[in-house]
Amino acid sequence: MRSMRRFLCLAPLLALSLSLAHAQRPSSPFSAPLARLQYAPDRDFDLLHVAVTLNIDYDNKVFTGRSKNTLAPLRAGLRQVRLHCGPSLKVTECRLDGRLAFFKQEGEFVVLEVGDTLPIGKSLIATVAYSGGQKQGGGFGSEGGFHWLTPTEALPNKIGFWTQGETNYNRQWAPTWDYPNDFATSETVTTVPAGWSVIGNGKKVSDMVQNGRRTVHWKMTQPHATYLLSLAAGPMDIQKARWEGVELFYTAPRGSKELLAASFSDTPDMLSFYSKITGVKYVWPKYAQNAVYEFGGGMENVSSTTLGAFSLAHPRDGFRPMASLNAHELAHQWFGDLVSCRDWGHSWLNESFADIFQWLYFEHSRGKNAYDREVSDGIQSYLRESKRYKRPIATNFYNSPDDMFDSHTYPKGGAVLHTLRKQLGDESFFKGINLYLTRHRHQPVETPDLVRAMTDATGINVQPFFTQWILKPGHPVLEYSWRWDNDAVVLSVKQTQDTTDGTPIYQIPTHIGLIEGGKLERVPVTLDGATQEIRLTRKVRPDAALLDPDHSFLAEWNHAFAPDERLSVVLSAPSGLDREIALDALLADLPTDDAISQIVRAIESDNDRFPAIESLRSLANLKKENLRPLWRKLLTHPSDLRRRDALDALGKLPKNPDDLKTIRAIALDDAQSFSVVAAAVTVLGEQAPKENLDVFALCEKLTERGGVARAAREAKKKAEEAPK
């Protein structure tokens, strides 16, 4: 039944993908001739367990290994066992249930000859002995696999190795079934120099040192996709913590200890939030976050995430700058690890969920304004990519599995899930998520599995939603305007997206927000035509009318607020995104003093660490002396962005001795973030360079983080060039 459901659901999807291929430019990895139809491969057996033993010869950058795969045949008449095995590995011996077996390496496989047919369902152990390490994988811009680290003069602790399995690269260091359509338990036994640490998946079974060598055994007793198998090893600083009985490891290259708390100490809060909002407690026996050199971004290896060391945060880098990366990768422990996409054409089930759950964590930890910004930034990232190509979010028509990891899979899918959340409401949305996770726990999944779970949990047929948003390319492009017609607001709306490539005319339930006397009223409407006119009877003409005032769905907007509604939008719109757009437009037209006074009062009351209006650059560019009290007040705002804007604004005004004294104190304040210090140094360099040479000398030696040293060097140069 599972394969039949898959076929029935994908039939229209394939037709759409094929038509899309003819419409797009040849340079797109989702159009012919580059793209082709691809599906999860057939399986001859069910992989039950994989046990990998590695002996690391770091000096010579080679390893020897043994991979024991416990498997059960799925069909009668099998005479071979085919395991994925990278061509860079040299297989030296194979055994079946302990007996020597003939074998041959064919491309990406090692093939073990059985001799007799294998009985269905009866498990056996296929063991492959091998050596490797000569092929360096997983660096910036290259494929994954096994990656050696080599020290440099600048980074003497860049020692060790790490592995990277997604998409199909674990075969480069461990022969096994290397595709996500089968789950298995796993273990690793790794021998390294005695001074190293080794972090693997699951729970640590043993850690022993003998004859100058350390052997570490990790074991995962819960099934998972094999691309999530991982190792990270080398000299490490390790900080441990616990969350509800789960052991936590925060690791980084030796010498990075001071960065661990600032980088990872919010992990327990993330674990609590995700466990609560999904209704599924974190399931794995431990969680490790391993920062390593020469790794870009992060990878959600099961119970043991790998992260780039250059993302590590200093306590003065601002408010938890690593939280976005950490929250995304941790969300994968539910979406991508507990459940994984069955084939890479459905990789959005991993990445889109990690994106929206990172945004949801920001809503929890930073507030609504931060969530709105994350969604908006994600949409803009996708829209930039959509200028090059458009494709269905779920598609089996692509060039390489790695091509699936684009801005359609990440932020577009996240924004579509945001759209679904807003349409269903939180109660129904998270109820559906809970059923999806519990029903498919420790299983590979496809998009129809999510559709069915959301529908079964809520009673709402979400198939139409998924058809237009997930299985078709593109997005709505909207224009709207409104007029007052005697006793009614008349809203004219157009959907102007190109539909020749399969992009639909969208049906979208939303609201019109009417602002009257500083108050907002939401009126429900449905968009469903290429052009439509919506008439709302009112007693009084509103001050402003906003289509989708809460930014509840993914769209590209071609709209500008009318001059007579901008101030009302600045003061009363529910979204800071609209308020900032209206503010910039209003200030560009030289507003009245009364309007500026109202804007100042609104800004003064916007006291969140993540304020609704993010940037005040347009207000600072007015260079108004009567705004100096505002900028002075904002120097103590909880937002780094606000403090930096205030410093920038004061730097645009004539220099003031009292302000320069305050700014000098900020530059020397070790409680300020580095970016704020850099902004303060910049102002001192512009307005009083010779008087603050001591500040510049100190900051130049302080750090390169946040641009502090660079700002100090530039300020020193201005002091040298200033007239005597």
Residue 408 has what DSSP assignment? Answer: I
Side chain identity, residue 365: S
Nearest Cα residue to 360 out of 430, 443, 307: 430
Question: Please, are residues 231 and 161 in contact by the beta-carbon 8 Å criterion?
Answer: yes
Whether the ω angle into residue 33 lies within 30 degrees of 0, i.e. cis, is: yes
Please check the confidence at residue 476 and state whether its pLDDT lies above 50. yes
State the average pLDDT over residues 557-586.
Answer: 97
| In 461-540, beta strands by DSSP E | 477-484, 488-495, 508-516, 519-527, 531-537
Nearest Cα residue to 419 out of 390, 365, 391, 382: 382
Residue identified by tokens 């979204």 is 575
Q: 191-194 — which CB contacts under 8 Å span 24+ positions?
A: 191/54, 191/55, 191/56, 191/215, 192/56, 192/58, 192/160, 192/216, 192/233, 193/56, 193/58
Percent of the chain topping pLDDT 90: 93
Mean pLDDT score of the chain: 95
State the average pLDDT over residues 31-58.
Answer: 97
Residue pLDDT, tens place only, 195-225: 999 999 999 999 999 999 999 999 999 999 9
Q: Report helix, strand or coil for 57.
A: strand
Please check the confidence at residue 450 and state whether its pLDDT lies above 70. yes
Nearest Cα residue to 146 out of 230, 84, 79, 90: 230
CA 150 to chain centre: 28
State the average pLDDT over residues 333-346.
Answer: 98
Please check the confidence at residue 77 and state whether its pLDDT lies above 60. yes
Q: Which residues, 6+ apart, have CB-to-CB distance to 1 below 8 Å?
A: none
- pLDDT score for 723: 81
pLDDT band at 514 (very low <50, low <70, confident <90, very high): very high
Q: Give the whole-angstrom CA distance, residue 616 versus residue 405.
A: 35
- pLDDT score for 587: 96
Query: Sheet holding 236-243: strands in order across?
Result: 236-243, 246-253, 286-292, 304-308, 298-299
- pTM (two decimals): 0.95
Question: Please, are residues 508 and 464 in contact by the beta-carbon 8 Å criterion?
Answer: no
Percent of the chain topping pLDDT 70: 96
Helix (H), strand (E) at residue 676? helix 674-687
Centre a 10 Å sphere on the Cβ of residue 303 and count the other Cβ atoms it contains. 28
Query: 477-484 and 109-113: which strand pairing?
Result: unpaired
Please check the confidence at residue 633 and state whether its pLDDT lies above 90. yes
Nearest Cα residue to 327 out of 292, 375, 295, 364: 364
Nearest Cα residue to 218 out of 52, 68, 358, 46: 52
Largest CA distance in the chain: 94
Residue 147 has what DSSP assignment? Answer: E
Torsional class of 367: left (φ above 0), alpha (ψ -120 to 50), beta (otherwise): left
Exposed / middle / buried, residue 60 (Cβ in 10 Å: 0-12, 13-18, 19+): exposed
The β-bridge partners of 558 are 479
Nearest Cα residue to 578 out of 614, 609, 604, 538: 614
pLDDT band at 115 (very low <50, low <70, confident <90, very high): confident
Please check the confidence at residue 95 and state whether its pLDDT lies above 70. yes
Helix (H), strand (E) at residue 20? helix 2-23
Q: Give the whole-angstrom CA distance, residue 523 versus residue 292.
A: 51
Helix (H), strand (E) at residue 80? strand 80-84
Q: Give the whole-angstrom CA distance, residue 288 versus residue 302.
A: 9
Nearest Cα residue to 268 out of 330, 332, 348: 330
Nearest Cα residue to 693 out of 658, 674, 717: 717
DSSP 513-532: EEEETTEEEEEEEEE-SSEE
Q: Give the whole-angstrom CA distance, residue 438 versus residue 283.
A: 11
Residue identified by tokens 């020692």 is 159
Q: Report helix, strand or coil for 448.
A: helix
Whether the ω angle into residue 592 lies within 30 degrees of 0, i.e. cis, is: no
Residue 1 has what DSSP assignment? Answer: -
Distances (CA, A) of 262 to 70, 240, 361: 42, 14, 17
Give per-residue burial for 487-503: e unless 16+ CB within 10 Å, then b.
eebebebbbebeeebbb
Please check the confidence at residue 25 and state whether its pLDDT lies above 70. no
Question: Please, are residues 296 and 164 in contact by the beta-carbon 8 Å criterion?
Answer: no
Please check the confidence at residue 438 and state whether its pLDDT lies above 70. yes
Question: Please, are residues 414 and 382 in contact by the beta-carbon 8 Å criterion?
Answer: no
Please check the confidence at residue 6 and state whether its pLDDT lies above 50. no
Helix (H), strand (E) at residue 467? helix 463-469
H helices of 236-391, in order, are: 260-264, 267-278, 323-331, 348-366, 368-386
* Three-state SS annotation for 561-576: CCHHHHHHHHHHCCCH
Residue pLDDT, tens place only, 224-237: 999 999 999 999 99
User: What would you report as the CA-atom Rg of the chain, rounded to the nearest whole angstrom?
Assistant: 29
Residue 109 has what DSSP assignment? Answer: E
Residue pLDDT, tens place only, 400-424: 999 999 999 999 999 999 999 999 9
Whether the ω angle into residue 167 lies within 30 degrees of 0, i.e. cis, is: yes
Exposed / middle / buried, residue 76 (Cβ in 10 Å: 0-12, 13-18, 19+): exposed
* Joined tokens for residue 533: 């006119």
Question: Please, are residues 30 and 397 in contact by the beta-carbon 8 Å criterion?
Answer: yes
Nearest Cα residue to 160 out of 234, 57, 256, 237: 234
Q: Give the whole-angstrom CA distance, residue 389 versus residue 112.
A: 43
Q: Give the whole-angstrom CA distance, residue 477 versus residue 400.
A: 29
pLDDT band at 18 (very low <50, low <70, confident <90, very high): very low
H helices of 225-345, in order, are: 260-264, 267-278, 323-331
Residue pLDDT, tens place only, 634-643: 999 999 999 9
Please check the confidence at residue 26 and state whether its pLDDT lies above 90. no
Question: Please, are residues 451 and 428 in contact by the beta-carbon 8 Å criterion?
Answer: no
Please check the confidence at residue 21 and state whether its pLDDT lies above 90. no
